[in-house]
Amino acid sequence: MLKYILKRFMIMLVTLWIIITLTFILMVNVPGSPFNSDQSSNETIKANLEAHYNLDAPYHIQYLNYLKSVATFDFGPSIKQPNQTVNDLLGRGFPISLELGLVTIAVAVISGIILGIIAALRHNGFIDYMAMGFAVLGISIPNFILATLLIQQLAVNLNLLPPATWSSPAHMVMPVLALATGPMAIIARLTRSTMLEVLTQDYIKMARAKGLSPWKIVFKHALRNALMPVVTIMGTLLAGILTGTFVIEQIFAIPGMGKYFVESINQRDYPVIMGTTVFYSAFLILMLFLVDIAYGILDPRIKFHKKGGE
Amino acid sequence: MEKILHVENLHVTFTTYGGTVQAVRGVDFHLNKGETLAIVGESGCGKSVTSNAIMRLIPDPPGKITNGSILFKGQDLAKFSEKKMRSIRGVDISMIFQDPMTALNPTLTIGTQLMEGLRTHRKVTSEQAKKKAIEMMDLVGISNPEERLKQYPHQFSGGMRQRIVIAIALICEPDLLIADEPTTALDVTIQAQILELFEKIQDTTGVSIILITHDLGVVAKIADRIAVMYAGKIIETGTKREIFYEPQHPYTKGLLNSVPRLDLKEDRLSPIDGTPPDLFSPPQACAFAARCPYAMEVCDKVYPADTELSESHKVSCWLQDKRAKQLLALAPTN
Ligand SMILES: Nc1ncnc2c1ncn2[C@@H]1O[C@H](COP(=O)(O)OP(=O)(O)OP(=O)(O)O)[C@@H](O)[C@H]1O
Ligand code: SF4
Ligand SMILES: [Mg+2]
């Protein structure tokens, strides 16, 4: 197990390095500079500024500097936000984005699984058709459209919920709904179909032949097996939710990391771009690793290490 | 002899998009205490449906027991509620399935799956359950039981898994064990071991066994009596001796001829020509008539009633029925 984790850790580092390199290549190749939009600045000031931020150095020096900043986890000051280091921005934005992300995942996973189970148990019944119709809608409506619809209906027309920002549980409802509906729908459909398949398996028939109650059969014998494919797609869903937070944070004016990320790209705030990208990537890579571990716990057939002779 | 099970006039249908499948069309048989009855017949003749019906495990929909009774120790299981049935399953009647590779839940330990039935139906402490589980593992011949209870199904071979399935079926000490092709998925040496295990179990526990198979070699080894099934009906029953040495129904004879025999120097087996009838609209008269080399006019028109050849030997074939000629005269001509 330890050996497996170490190996995975090495792979994670390599992945991160590739991402940093790609980000750097993209950054230096995208036209524009942090100081272009500044009308007042003339050529001399610009040159001075670039020298100050080390942007006039040859690319390979800049690249090495970035690698160093990642290794020490110190991305330096932001160019566009005076008196703020990138770490300050991350420290402020990340907890909020994390909260949004985790609540979304919890809502999507729990309600998706419950919906999927109910649909499977009421297979081809009214509830099943309702749930699956709802799921198709959920999958096909993009989260930003759903967000806009929610704001219009729940905040503007009905005045039920605050339209934006992030300061109380009521503020969470719409962003989380907008972000969770898609993944929830995907989980619900997948849970339903794997559940239906699992319920036809011999070991379920065997469980019935033991005289177990339907409740026990579903939760003890079927669910765990039915959840394995759901865990498999969790990686993709996590990535989707993560990118979704950029958009949703913009729409609801939530001061999370996504806001800084999008802004930094528009403003060519190179240290912030690098800092947020590395942070997002590292976080996602770590989550994918946790998904793999969870899969191994769910399925005893998966071994992280090979014992001799087996 | 005490009858433990008496199935009478059992009918099971499945409603499908293509129509209604009459899978079991009036099955009658009984089982005495402590004996082994083999139900044999070609694929699709309704063996599994019959055994599932006894356990009331027919998926409804699409399946339904439309008629008949299943008297188990004098009580009609066909009339039991689902809840009452649950207290019978695994306790009084247990079932063993064909494929041990899929019959065990891959995500639960052997110990959990073995003790589950016991803990559901009997008031036992976890200590007692474990003790009983170890006892069962010993009985079915799995060494090092305490260790192995903690393992998962994938850590066992096919033969071992079937032993575990048998242990699971027997842990609540049922009176009746239904084994649906318990050896079909295993290779020949393992088959022989599992059959020996069945004999041993019957000797130690006195359990009555219904053994479903299309392997007459298996039947010859452990059955006391045999019921031959064709197209949803039982067409001949008798003791093992009667069926093997004096088969009367042409279908039974055909089945026996399709088994390789050591005492005959024939290279080729002679399987029965033709295919079983369509169970969407099975013939009302003898269902075997289309394939029967002896078919007579009456066979196509009227169903042959059971003829009792001895106290234990019954056959439904016009060849054995003295009234065939008279009935033919009465039958409508179309
Ligand atoms: N769930 C179902 N839906 C529709 N038809 C079914 C269903 N289960 C069984 N049948 C039909 O019932 C008939 C009898 O099937 P059964 O499984 O009892 O055959 P069998 O004798 O056990 O055959 P085998 O030797 O292949 O196991 C078949 O014609 C089959 O098509
Ligand atoms: S009743 Fe007629 S058709 Fe049927 S098995 Fe007997 S002889 Fe053959
Ligand atoms: Mg079968």
B187-234 pLDDT per residue, tens: 888 888 888 888 988 998 899 999 998 888 888 888 999 999 999 999
Q: Are A210 and B116 in contact (CB < 8 Å)?
A: yes
pLDDT, tens digit (0-9, with 9 covering 90-100), for B139-190:
888 989 899 999 999 999 988 998 999 999 989 989 999 999 888 878 888 8
Q: Are A300 and B57 in contact (CB < 8 Å)?
A: no
* B182 has a chain A CB within 8 A of its CB: no
The pLDDT of A237-247, averaged and rounded, is: 88
Residue B317 CB less than 6 A away from ligand 2 = yes
* A129 has a chain B CB within 8 A of its CB: no
pLDDT band at A309 (very low <50, low <70, confident <90, very high): very low
**Residue A59, min C-alpha distance to chain B (Å):** 53
Q: With 0-12 CB in 10 A as exposed, 13-18 as middle and 19+ as buried, what is B317?
A: buried
For A122, A123, A187, A192, A280, the CA distances from A126, given in Å and listed in that order, are 8, 9, 20, 14, 42
The pLDDT of B258-267, averaged and rounded, is: 60
3-state secondary structure of A213: coil
Question: How far is Cα A161 from Cα A151, in angstroms, rounded to an integer?
Answer: 8
Q: Supply the ipTM of this predicted assembly.
A: 0.86
The pLDDT of A110-134, averaged and rounded, is: 90
Question: Both tokens of residue A150?
Answer: 């929610």
The residue among B262 and B306 whose pLDDT is bigger is B306
The pLDDT of B101-115, averaged and rounded, is: 92
pLDDT for residue A38: 57
CATH number, domain containing residue A300: 1.10.3720.10
Q: Are B88 and A211 in contact (CB < 8 Å)?
A: yes
Q: Are B154 and A300 in contact (CB < 8 Å)?
A: yes
3-state secondary structure of B287: coil
| Averaged confidence pLDDT in chain A | 86
Residue B137 CB less than 6 A away from ligand 2 = no
Residue B264: pLDDT over 60: no
* A224 has a chain B CB within 8 A of its CB: yes
**Which atom of ligand 1 lies nearest, measured to the CA of B58?**
1
Instruction: Pick from B302, B319, B325 the residue to mutate for probing ligand 2's pocket: most ligand atoms within 8 Å of its CB.
Output: B319
Please identify which residue in the block is written with the tokens 């020298």. Answer: A51
pLDDT band at A278 (very low <50, low <70, confident <90, very high): confident
* B253 has a chain A CB within 8 A of its CB: no
| Cα separation of the two ends of chain B | 47
- Please report, for chain B, the start and end positions of each structural domain, with discontinuous segments joined by +: 3-102+177-330
Instruction: Pick from B20, B27, B49, B51 the residue to mutate for probing ligand 1's pocket: most ligand atoms within 8 Å of its CB.
Output: B49
Q: Which residues of A touch B105 (CB under 8 A)?
A: 203, 206-207, 221, 225
Residue of chain A whose alpha carbon sits nearest to that of B153? A301
pLDDT for residue B22: 92
Residue A144: pLDDT over 80: yes
CB of A206 within 8 A of CB of A146? no
**Which atom of ligand 2 lies nearest, measured to the CA of B287?**
4
Per DSSP, the residues of B86-135 read HTTBTTTEEEE-S-HHHHS-TTS-HHHHHHHHHHHHS---HHHHHHHHHH
* B4 has a chain A CB within 8 A of its CB: no
The pLDDT of A73-78, averaged and rounded, is: 82
Query: Is residue A156 included in any domain, yes or no?
Result: yes
- Crossing angle of helices A59-71 and A2-29, in 10° steps, is 140
Residue of chain A whose alpha carbon sits nearest to that of B154? A301
Window from A35-44, B15-24, B96-105, B240-249 with minimum mean pLDDT = A35-44
The residue among A308 and B134 whose pLDDT is bigger is B134
**How many angstroms is it from B216 CA to the middle of ligand 2?**
22
**How many angstroms is it from B67 CA to the middle of ligand 1?**
18
Query: Is residue A144 included in any domain, yes or no?
Result: yes
pLDDT band at B262 (very low <50, low <70, confident <90, very high): low
For B253, B303, B332, the CA distances from B294, given in Å and listed in that order, are 12, 15, 21
Residue B259 CB less than 6 A away from ligand 2 = no
| Averaged confidence pLDDT in chain B | 88
**Residue B148, min C-alpha distance to chain A (Å):** 14
CB of B102 within 8 A of CB of A221? no
Residue A307: pLDDT over 50: no
Residue B214 CB less than 6 A away from ligand 1 = yes
Q: Which residues of B touch A295 (CB under 8 A)?
A: none
pLDDT for residue A217: 93
H helix runs in chain A, sequence order: 2-29, 43-52, 59-71, 86-121, 126-140, 143-150, 169-199, 202-209, 214-216, 223-251, 257-267, 270-298
pLDDT for residue A160: 83
pLDDT for residue B98: 84
Q: Which residues of B touch A206 (CB under 8 A)?
A: 95, 97, 103-105, 165, 168
Window from A160-169, B166-175, B283-292 with minimum mean pLDDT = A160-169
**Which atom of ligand 2 lies nearest, measured to the CA of B318?**
1
Residue B62 CB less than 6 A away from ligand 1 = yes
**Burial letters A43-82, b for 16+ CB under 10 A, else e:** eeebeebeeebebeeeeeebbeebeebbeeeebbbbbbbe
pLDDT, tens digit (0-9, with 9 covering 90-100), for B25-64:
999 999 999 999 999 998 889 999 999 999 999 988 788 9
Percent of chain A with pLDDT over 70: 95
pLDDT, tens digit (0-9, with 9 covering 90-100), for A176-207:
999 999 999 999 999 999 999 999 899 999 99
Closest Cβ opposite residue B86 in set A201, A213, A310: A213
Q: Are B107 and A206 in contact (CB < 8 Å)?
A: no
Residue B48 CB less than 6 A away from ligand 1 = yes
**Residue A129, min C-alpha distance to chain B (Å):** 18
Instruction: Pick from B296, B301, B315, B321 the residue to mutate for probing ligand 2's pocket: most ligand atoms within 8 Å of its CB.
Output: B296
pLDDT band at A310 (very low <50, low <70, confident <90, very high): very low
Percent of chain B with pLDDT over 70: 93
The pLDDT of A24-43, averaged and rounded, is: 73
The CATH number of the domain covering residues in B3-102+177-330: 3.40.50.300
Q: In what order do the strands lie in the sheet with B307-308?
A: B93-96, B176-180, B208-213, B36-40, B225-230, B233-239, B314-315, B307-308
Q: With 0-12 CB in 10 A as exposed, 13-18 as middle and 19+ as buried, what is B281?
A: exposed
Question: How far is Cα B255 from Cα B19, in angstroms, rounded to an integer?
Answer: 30
Closest alpha carbon to A151 in A17, A248, A265:
A248
Q: For residue A234, which amino acid is it?
A: M
Residue B15: pLDDT over 70: yes
pLDDT for residue B265: 54
**Which atom of ligand 2 lies nearest, measured to the CA of B250?**
5
Query: Is residue A310 included in any domain, yes or no?
Result: no
Residue A40: pLDDT over 70: no
Instruction: Pick from B318, B321, B322, B325 the residue to mutate for probing ligand 2's pocket: most ligand atoms within 8 Å of its CB.
Output: B318
The pLDDT of B10-18, averaged and rounded, is: 92
Question: How far is Cα B90 from Cα B168, in angstroms, rounded to an integer?
Answer: 9
* B57 has a chain A CB within 8 A of its CB: yes
* B89 has a chain A CB within 8 A of its CB: yes
Residue A300: pLDDT over 80: yes
Question: How far is Cα A182 from Cα B44, in angstroms, rounded to an integer?
Answer: 45
Instruction: Report the number of distinct structural domains present in chain A.
Output: 1
For A209, B84, B171, the CA distances from B122, given in Å and listed in that order, are 16, 15, 11
Residue of chain B whose alpha carbon sits nearest to that of A301? B154
Query: Is residue A74 included in any domain, yes or no?
Result: yes
